[in-house]
Each structure stands twice: as structure tokens, then as C-alpha cells.
Amino acid sequence: MLLAGAAALVSGLLPVPAFQELAARTVPILAFVVAMSLVTELVDDAGLFRVITGRLAALGRGRVLLLWLLVIVLATVSTIFLSLDTTAVLVTPVVVLLALHARIPPLPFALTTVWLANTASLLLPVSNLTNLLAQDRLRLSPAEFAGLVWAPALAGILVPLGLLWLAFRKDLRGHYVPQPVHKVRDRVLLYPAAAVMALLLPALVSGVPVQFPALAAAVILLLLFVWRRRSALRWTMVPWRPLMLTTGLFMVVEALHANGLTKFLTGIAGSGESLPALLQQAGLGAGAANAVNNLPAYLALEPVAGSPVRLAALLIGVNLGPLVTPWASLATLLWHERLRTLNVEIRWGGFALAGLAAVVLTVPLAVLALWLTTGMH
């Protein structure tokens, strides 16, 4: 994909002025993605996520339903403040291992993390790369962004959870035996890492461009690890493949826009802010996300969104919609990769059917919530 983007630039399909404008917009966002990947990997290596899940297991008091509710809180907070990929990559393994060790069926916990990784990623700009792009386009502060999407974001959390409870209520009954508390390898590393994370979360929603606090946190943690555990530092902490894929997608979709994609999509996406118009916009976003991937779906449809409310409807489609196909969201692929390493099997047919049911209910209800709260009725 990166080679395709480079070829578009060299051949002139992507004009140089359009590329320069694209770079000015996306380089800060990509810097944030790299910095947050390093931060979450290092904080995880320091043991913070294992300590948190150990506390959750103790707080669950041996009741499976209570443990599930605590896992929901962890996955939701992780997705909102640290992004959907963090939930998929770091929360999934600790939560699924927690279930396996407690001899609870892991599927309800695994599905909870992947659905919430996607559907809880609407509230803040940092929750999803698509949100950062939308925030940049709309020039909104994090508080203003949340003010626009809070109602559909709430629907995106509550509706899938209701479906999961209906599907797994029998598995969520009963009790488990809490495991011994995880022993911290290096408290001198853990406590400063936890402090960095505690300071970073409010900084990400303060209105300061998010790449600056993320880069500062990454530098502090890297220095901490150079001092305490240099052996843990490795080049694979940088998400090279997703970074190349994302950069290539930015360039390819921009080249398509420069060659008539916007005009073509204008006829399909419709116009206006009536409920049917917003449903059409969100439905198109969800369909495109499941057909190709949510990032190119957003990039393709962003220029035809036209207004903040229509852009919010597009975000509903591309954030809450990618629950059907495995490739619809990078978070889903990362989640599946983690489950394979834990020998937890997922049948894609069942995953797609369950996801389709969730999307058919969640996306329209989220659009309705958006329409009702933005004064369009």
C-alpha cells in the first residue's frame, strides 16, 4: 500500500500540492499514533495492565457477572482514552487469560473487548484515528468533539453490551476462584510508568495538540526503560506495518479524490441532516468499512460529509459499523492475532453473524441519538 501511494505521487496521480496538504494534516496524527504505541507497550511491559486486571479479579469477589462488568469498565476506559488498538492488543490478552485462569468461558470476555474496542471509540478524538482526522477537519476541541457525539457514543457502548448480555447471560452466572495477585517484577519501574499514564490521560483531553503530550510521555518512558530495563526495548514496539499501511492509504485515497472520487461519491452519499439522510451517510460508512476497512472508508467519504453533524454520522458508520468482516478494522485483526497466541479459537462465520446483528441495531440507534441531540428534529 505504501508503494502504491509512492507510485501515485511519482506518476502525478497524486499532485504535489495535494500531497503537501495531506502531509501537513496527517504527520502530527501519525506521530501521535507512534508515540501512543510506544507508551502503551512500555506501560504494559512495566506490568500496569496485569496489576489492574489482578485488582479487577479481586474486586469481582468470585462473581462472574461482576467481573464481566469490571472488564467492561476497563475496556471502555482503555478505548476512550488510549484508542481502540490499545484495547485490542493489550487489554484482550490480560482479560482472556484472567477468564482462562478463573475457568470461565473466555468467549464473552473476548467478544466484549473487540466489540467495545470498536463501538466505544467515538467519544474523544484520541479514541480512534478517524476521530483525530474528523477533529482536525472540524477544528474542534476535545470537549466540543465530545459534545457533538456523546449521545451516539453512549448508544455505541450500551446497545452492544445489551446484546452480549442476552447472548451470554448463562455463561455470566455463577462464581470463580480468584487467582493469586500478580507479583510486580520492578516497582521502581511500575510506579513512575503508572504516574506517567495518570498525567497523560488528562493531557490528551486538555485541548493541547495530542501528539505533544504523547511524545513527551514516550520519551520519559523510554529514558526510564534505558535506566531500568534496557533489554525490553526493541524495534518491534514501533508499529511499522500499520504505519506503512496507514500512510499508503492516506496517499492512495487522496490520489483518488484528486481524480474524481469526490464527485462520484457525492451522488451516493446524499445530502442534508434529516434522519433518513444521516442514516444513509452512516449506513454507507458502515458498508464501506466492512467492504474494505474503516480508515479508507472514512477518508473516501469525509469530503462529501459536508457538515459537523453529517461527519458525526459518518463516524458512527465507520467506528461502530466494523463488526462484521475481520478486515473492517485493524483492531479486530490485532485482537484475533492475540487470541491465536492464547489458543482461543474464533469462528468467523459466527463472529460475522453476531456482528451483523449488533451493527443493524447499534448504528441506527446511534444515528437517532445524534439526530435527537443536534436539534435536527
CA dist., res. 154 & res. 134, Å (int)? 19
Cβ(334)–Cβ(368) under 8 Å? no
For residue 101, the model assigns a pLDDT of 81
Examine the pLDDT at 270 and tell me if it is beyond 90. Answer: no
For residue 156, the model assigns a pLDDT of 97
CA dist., res. 157 & res. 155, Å (int)? 5
Q: Distance from first CA to last CA of the chain, Å, rounded?
A: 42
Q: Which three cell numbers stand for residue 117?
A: 474496542
What secondary structure letter does DSSP report for 321?
S
Percent of the chain whose predicted confidence (pLDDT) is above 90: 55
Examine the pLDDT at 120 and tell me if it is beyond 60. Answer: yes
Contacts of 55 by beta carbon, 8 Å cutoff, 6+ apart: none
Cβ(78)–Cβ(88) under 8 Å? no
Q: Which residue has the cell 490478552?
A: 93
- Report the SS3 class of residue 146: helix
Examine the pLDDT at 266 and tell me if it is beyond 80. Answer: no
For residue 6, the model assigns a pLDDT of 93
Examine the pLDDT at 181 and tell me if it is beyond 70. Answer: no
pLDDT interval class at 330 (50, 70, 90): confident
pLDDT interval class at 232 (50, 70, 90): confident
pLDDT interval class at 376 (50, 70, 90): low
Q: What is the chain's mean pLDDT, rounded?
A: 90
Least confident range from 4-13, 64-73, 87-96, 110-119: namely: 87-96
For residue 310, the model assigns a pLDDT of 95
Examine the pLDDT at 105 and tell me if it is beyond 70. Answer: yes
Domain boundaries, the chain: 2-373
List C-alpha distances in Å: 353 to 146, 157, 349, 357.
31, 19, 6, 6
For residue 313, the model assigns a pLDDT of 96
